Amino acid sequence: MLLALAEPTTTYYLILAALVFAIGSVGLMVRRNPLVMFMCIELMLNAVNLTFVALATRFGNIDGQTAVFFVMVVAAAEVVVGLGIIISVLRRRPGATADDLAELKG
């Protein structure tokens, strides 16, 4: 069986990561709920993480996996701060979308 013999190469992973990154960026441009926009940013970060790990395995260099570790820490910090901002904005204006925040008056 051909499917069982072939092995996925690094290029397959890079193509998958490119697709996920593009889907995340389209979502970021299209959706207007700020929380869903945040989820799309997480998608893009994960696509980049997959690229890092695939290339770390290909090059035989552990540095890529260390970079992914730091990306995860920064993503966690970013989500905490971003959700804090979203909570304090939505407390004043319930049901605000990203378009309503353009004035930045609070």
Partner 1 sequence: MELIVFVIASAMVLAGALGVVLRSNPVHAALSLVLTLFGIAVHFVALGAHFLAAVQVIVYAGAIVVLFLFVLMLLGIDKSEDLSIEPFPIQRPLAIVIGAGLAGLVIAAAVRARDALPEGTPLESGGDSNIKQLAQNLFSDYVFAFEFTSVLLIVAVAGTVMLTRKEKKGGES
What is the total count of residues that contact partner 1 (CB under 8 A)?
Answer: 76
* 3 state DSSP class of 10: helix
Q: Which is nearer to partner 1, 95 or 103 (CB)?
A: 95
Largest CA distance in the chain: 63
CA atoms within a 13 Å half-sphere pointing along the CA-CB vector of 64: 14
100 binds partner 1 (CB under 8 A): no
**Interactions with partner 1, residue window 68-87 (CB under 8 A):** 68-70, 72-81, 83-87
**Interactions with partner 1, residue window 7-46 (CB under 8 A):** 7-16, 18-27, 29-33, 35-36, 38-40, 42-43, 46
Is 90 in contact with 23 (CB distance < 8 Å)? no
